[in-house]
Amino acid sequence: MGIVKKRRYQMESRDEPLEVIVRGTDVLNEPLLNKGTAFSLEERDALGLRGLVPPKVVELSGQVERVLENYRRKTDPLEKFIFLTSLHDRNETLYYKVLTENLMEMTPIVYTPVVGAACQQFGHIYRKNRGMYISMDDKGHIRDMFNNWNQEEIDIIVVSDGSRILGLGDLGANGMGIPIGKLALYVAGGGIFPSKTLPILLDTGTNNQELLDDPLYLGMNQQRAEDADYYELVDEFVQAVQDRWPKALIQWEDFTNNHAFPLLEKYRDKVLCFNDDIQGTGAVALSGLLGGMRMKKEKLSEQRIIFYGAGSAAVGIADTIVAGIMEESGMTAAESRKLFWLLDSLGLVVKDGPRALQAHKVPYARDEAHIPDLMGVIRAIKPTILVGVSGQGQAFTQEVVKEMHKHVKQPIIFALSNPTSKSECTAEQAYRWTKGQVIFASGSPFDPVRLKGKIYVPGQGNNMFIFPGVGLGAALCQASKVTDAMFYMAAKTLAEMVTEEELALGTVYPDLRKIRKISATIATAICRMAFDEGLAGIAEPEDIRKFVKTNMYTPEYPRYVAATES
């Protein structure tokens, strides 16, 4: 029979020393506790570590230096990912110190695009457990399984079923890289405590034959479950979360549309949850458009908006803009939707089109003749705003952009598809084809463009501007739900953080390097809204911003003392 070691440690106290009941190598093997060479001599004695680490006590800053030296020596992005993952699994404080201080350099590794390659290789590069896996075979056991997770307090759960990982499709259980990566950004960018995050992968099978044929694949070797079984599992999962961690926010991540929309509709008013692909994307795009409106000194309600692509990102963005128009102008939702024209792979989305409409497109279906191509729709509508969310690289041709520019002096063009190769046009093309008059933003980063002596800085509509702040705010005030109005508020708050200097350079988003300040400001706005609308689960603090800032995690080592078993 194995020996069960007692664990007691108080995770987040900053002022008092932390009491730790585990000792010796157990401390070194627990990434949330480990300080490696940074344990002081007193701590080494108190925790039974004398002799287990090299004699020299190294400050956190010295450890950071060593990590960066090793990290930067690696040239292969996947090797960099593996290196950072190993650090994450060894010493979380050091990992988050390095990540927070080098966020611009490391976000493309821990999240898109490199996390995509890591997910594809997940079974081949797997090293150590992190997060929880719930498979179809676990039906009936989920609540019990949650007792296996040794943290009593969880703020944010990011959950995926691996069915639509980034633009890579069905990656089954390999999708676990996404909840892990996203939560790392929550911690680094939003100041959520690492111990209060929980990545979860719902393994409902995979239809990816390559994975099913791969002997190193780590998920269930079966086709995806039928809908009835699938929804039963998700329901049991949601109920179990409510029971074990009733304050936790559930973030739905990378589900295929046929499940993403129904799940959001089913749970959005019942439990604290949101879908970043739908609502987070919506808010970040709306924020960019509000920045564009500031530049043009116009209103959203005066625009004609074409969406190229009619999937979850498109409908999420359109719904959030509708909420913005309603707020700004007092128009109804139906009136606001009349300003939108959506195109899918068959052309303009119309009521009486070439095939039956998926439910999420119905509210935007136009009562007019079908037009099969983008050029035709642009000629007919003369849009002021064109948003690309189709995953079709180079779809905004010179002809398309010039035709749009013919009818509007300063067109707004957002080419949001990722990765860069899928972007509907590049920043350089958009500026060149409109002689520098376009207001441009993209999903993937583009370098500044120099045109006739002027520098244009394209904005990147990165979801990271929004979700950490929304999650932080909702978790801190223990909101009962996340509303559309909260996402509108997040978008508005972000747009207001763009400086006049940034607008003058053509940028509709603030500098991402200010992410912690941005997240604190958005979280403050979310909390204030929750308190005003009676949705908060705690009493209103006197100073909400101070409350938010003092409850944000910063990666610094705590001081430990040994506890006596009691």
Residue 205 or 288: the one with the smaller Cβ distance to ligand NAD is: 288
| 160 is an interface residue for ligand NAD by CB under 6 A | no
E strands present in 373-519:
385-388, 412-415, 439-442, 449-451, 454-456, 459-460
Residues touching ligand NAD, count (CB under 6 A): 26
> Looking at 59-67, 244-252, 311-319, 322-330, which segment touches ligand NAD (CB under 6 A)?
311-319
Q: Site for ligand NAD (CB under 6 A): which residue of 157, 313, 476, 482?
A: 313
Nearer residue to ligand NAD within complex by CB, 88 or 361: 361
Asked whether position 319 contacts ligand NAD by CB under 6 A, the answer is no
| Residue 167 interacts with ligand NAD (CB under 6 A): yes or no | yes
* Residue from the set 34, 204, 206, 390 that interacts with ligand NAD by CB under 6 A: 390
Which entry of 71, 95, 96, 111 is annotated as an active-site residue? 111
Is the separation of the CB atoms in 460 and 284 below 8 Å?
no
DSSP at 9: B
Q: Which of 197, 257, 320, 336 binds ligand NAD (CB under 6 A)?
A: 257
Q: Which of 35, 80, 97, 182 is catalytic?
A: 182
Contact region with ligand NAD (CB under 6 A), list: 137-145, 384-392, 468-476, 515-523: 384-392
Shortest-Cβ-distance residue relative to ligand NAD: 311
Question: How far are the Cα atoms of 92, 246, 272, 314, 441 from residue 460, in angstroms, in the given order?
Answer: 29, 35, 28, 17, 6
In sequence order, what are the beta bridge partners of 200? 132, 159
Q: Mark 242-270 as b/e (b = at least 16 C-beta within 10 Å).
A: bebbebbbbbbbbbbbebbbbbbeebbee
Is residue 308 within 8 A of residue 518, CB to CB? The reply is: no
111 is catalytic: yes
Instruction: Give all strands (DSSP E) within 175-308, no chain letters.
Output: 197-203, 249-252, 273-275, 305-308
CB of 190 to ligand NAD, least distance (A): 16
Kindly state whether residue 557 participates in binding ligand NAD, applying the rule CB under 6 A: no
Does position 524 interact with ligand NAD (CB under 6 A)? The reply is: no
Judged by CB under 6 A, the residue of 344, 456, 484, 530 near ligand NAD is 344
What is the per-residue DSSP string for 391-429? --TT-S-HHHHHHHHHH-SS-EEEE--SSGGG-SS-HHH
Measured CA to CA, the distance from residue 454 to residue 438 in angstroms comes to: 13
Question: Strands 347-348 and 340-344, how do they pair?
Answer: antiparallel
**Which of 249, 272, 262 is CA-nearest to residue 182?**
249
d(C-alpha 552, C-alpha 99), whole Å: 16
Beta-bridge partner residues of 156: 197, 249
69 burial (CB, 10 Å; 0-12 / 13-18 / 19+) is exposed
* Contact between 308 and ligand NAD per CB under 6 A: yes
Q: Which is nearer to ligand NAD, 251 or 417 (CB)?
A: 417
State the minimum distance, in angstroms, from the CB of residue 347 to ligand NAD.
8
Does 277 bind ligand NAD (CB under 6 A)? Our answer is yes
Query: Min. distance of Cβ 316 from ligand NAD in angstroms?
Result: 8
CB-count exposure of residue 139 (10 Å: 0-12, 13-18, 19+): middle
Given the complex with ligand NAD, which of 172 and 459 has the nearer CB atom?
Answer: 459
Cα torsion angle, 380, 381, 386, 388, sign? negative
Cβ(433)–Cβ(402) below 8 Å: yes
Query: Binding segment for ligand NAD among 43-51, 121-129, 230-238, 309-317 (CB under 6 A)?
Result: 309-317
Judged by CB under 6 A, which of 264, 284, 293, 430 binds ligand NAD?
284
Helix axes 515-532, 177-190, angle to 10 degrees: 90
180 lies in the binding site for ligand NAD (CB under 6 A): no
* Residue linked to tokens 């070691």: 5
309 binds ligand NAD (CB under 6 A): yes
Q: Provide, rounded to whole angstroms, the least separation between the CB of residue 337 and ligand NAD.
A: 17
Q: Tell me if 283 contacts ligand NAD by CB under 6 A.
A: no
Q: Which of 255, 281, 290 is nearest to 462 (CA)?
A: 281
Instruction: Clarify whether 74 is annotated catalytic.
Output: no
Q: Which residues ranging from 429 to 468 are in contact with ligand NAD (CB under 6 A)? A: 443, 461, 463
Q: Which is nearer to ligand NAD, 17 or 347 (CB)?
A: 347
Q: Residue 419: is the preceding peptide bond cis (ω within 30°)? A: yes
- Which of 314, 498, 515, 527 binds ligand NAD (CB under 6 A)? It is 314
Site for ligand NAD in 391-420 (CB under 6 A): 391-392, 416-418
Task: Decide if residue 310 touches ligand NAD (CB under 6 A).
Answer: yes
Task: Report the C-alpha gap between 118 and 560 in whole angstroms.
Answer: 35
- Which lies closer to ligand NAD via its Cβ, residue 311 or residue 458? 311
**Member of 46, 60, 348, 389 binding ligand NAD (CB under 6 A):** 389
Q: Is 253 in the site for ligand NAD (CB under 6 A)?
A: no
Angular region, 8: left φ>0, alpha ψ -120 to 50, beta rest? beta
Is residue 281 a contact point for ligand NAD (CB under 6 A)? yes
Contact set with ligand NAD (CB under 6 A) = 167, 257, 277, 281, 284, 308-314, 343-345, 389-392, 416-418, 422, 443, 461, 463
Show which residues are catalytic. Answer: 111, 182
